[in-house]
């Protein structure tokens, strides 16, 4: 989980500007991991 | 689990996400209501693009409507029935998204006569794997159009779909028949499938 968080942190620092919402919240990400 | 989730307001942001994912060498996937049968709307350690923020529905003609990929079929029905029109084919579950069923063909109770939902999509806006936004139809960029429809989300991201409509019936009659033997059920089903006027048939 710590490694995962650091990867997400790296991703966040590289993100281009969006006109929309980009969410890293673990609860949202977990909800997107089920069908 | 994905690293992050984008809720795009515009196709341009979908393009940005695709191009960013390419530069970072990470996977992305588009997700509607999460009803995929084989996990196509999930991506581990990648970016999920939620279509739930692309839900606009717009009339373009009396028999054509533009829908965002995240629009639910229920919302499409509400819009089209207000003008006495309906999509020719509807999924059994109306709480799934336009983009989702167009990626999987989209079958329903009228498919036995009218085909799949993809047969009634006439134009798409697609974000390609390189991040380009391209309009396609049977007449323009036809190969992309054919590959994306029922492409299981592997050939591009649908950000707008133009859907053909037909007149909605003024009323319907619902009949239920119970069968105890399969032979009679299938024989009657064959008769109903050829009966006029054509209706919607389902068998459980």
pLDDT digits (tens, 9 = 90+) for B130-189: 999 999 999 999 999 999 999 998 999 999 999 999 999 999 899 899 999 999 999 999
pLDDT of residue A5: 59
Closest CA–CA distance from residue A28 to any residue of chain B (Å): 8
pLDDT of residue A1: 46
Containing structural domain, residue B51: 4-167
Q: Pairing mode, if any, of strands B121-127 and B157-164?
A: antiparallel
Count Cβ–Cβ pairs < 8 Å, chain A vs chain B.
79
Q: Are residues B6 and A35, on separate chains, in Cβ contact within 8 Å?
A: no
For residues B63 and B164, the answer to whether their CB atoms sit within 8 Å is: yes
Residue B144: HSE in the Cβ half-sphere, 13 Å Cα cutoff: 19
Q: Write down the pTM of the prediction.
A: 0.91
pLDDT tens per residue across span B6-56: 999 999 999 999 999 999 999 999 999 998 877 888 899 999 999 999 999
The span from the CA of B18 to the CA of B143, in Å, is: 21
Question: Does a structural domain hold residue B86?
Answer: yes
Name the residue of chain B whose CA is nearest to A24's CA: B4
Question: Does a structural domain hold residue B186?
Answer: no
Q: Tell me B109's DSSP state.
A: T
Containing structural domain, residue A18: 2-31
Question: Does a structural domain hold residue B96?
Answer: yes
State the sign of the Cα–Cα–Cα–Cα dihedral B197, B202, B203, B204.
Answer: negative
For residue B188, give the H/E element and its range: helix B182-194
Here the CATH number for the domain that contains residue B159 is 3.30.465.10
pLDDT tens per residue across span A4-29: 557 778 888 889 999 999 999 889 99
Question: Does a structural domain hold residue B66?
Answer: yes
Number of domains forming the structure of chain A: 1
State the sign of the Cα–Cα–Cα–Cα dihedral B29, B32, B34, B36.
Answer: negative
Residue of B10, B15, B16 to mutate, interface with A, max A Cβ within 10 Å: B16
Question: Does a structural domain hold residue B91?
Answer: yes
Question: Does a structural domain hold residue B57?
Answer: yes
pLDDT tens per residue across span B44-88: 999 999 999 999 999 999 899 999 999 999 999 999 999 999 999
pLDDT tens per residue across span B126-146: 999 999 999 999 999 999 999
DSSP H helical segments within B71-181, as ranges?
Answer: 73-81, 98-103, 111-114, 142-148
């Amino acid at each position: 989980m710590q490694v995962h968080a650091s990867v997400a942190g790296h991703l966040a620092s590289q993100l281009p500007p969006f006109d929309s919402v980009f969410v890293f919240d673990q609860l949202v990400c977990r909800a997107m991991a089920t069908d | 689990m994905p690293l992050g989730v984008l809720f795009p307001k515009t196709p341009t942001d979908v393009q940005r996400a695709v191009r960013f994912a390419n530069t970072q060498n990470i996977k992305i996937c588009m997700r509607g209501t999460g009803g995929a049968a084989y996990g196509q709307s999930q991506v581990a350690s990648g970016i999920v693009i939620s279509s739930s923020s692309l839900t606009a529905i717009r009339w373009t003609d009396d028999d054509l409507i533009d829908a965002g990929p995240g629009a639910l079929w229920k919302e499409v029905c509400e819009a089209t029935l207000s003008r006495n029109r309906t999509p020719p084919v509807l999924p059994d579950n109306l709480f799934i998204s336009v983009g989702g069923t167009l990626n999987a063909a989209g079958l329903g109770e009228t498919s036995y006569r009218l085909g799949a939902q993809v047969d009634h999509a006439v134009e798409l806006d697609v974000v390609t794997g390189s991040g380009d936004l391209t309009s396609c139809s049977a007449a323009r960029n036809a190969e992309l159009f054919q590959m994306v429809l029922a492409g299981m989300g592997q050939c591009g991201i649908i950000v707008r779909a133009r859907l053909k409509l037909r007149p909605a019936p003024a009323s319907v009659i619902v009949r239920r028949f119970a069968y105890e033997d399969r032979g009679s059920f299938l024989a009657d089903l064959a008769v109903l499938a050829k009966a006029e006027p054509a209706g919607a048939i389902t068998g459980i």
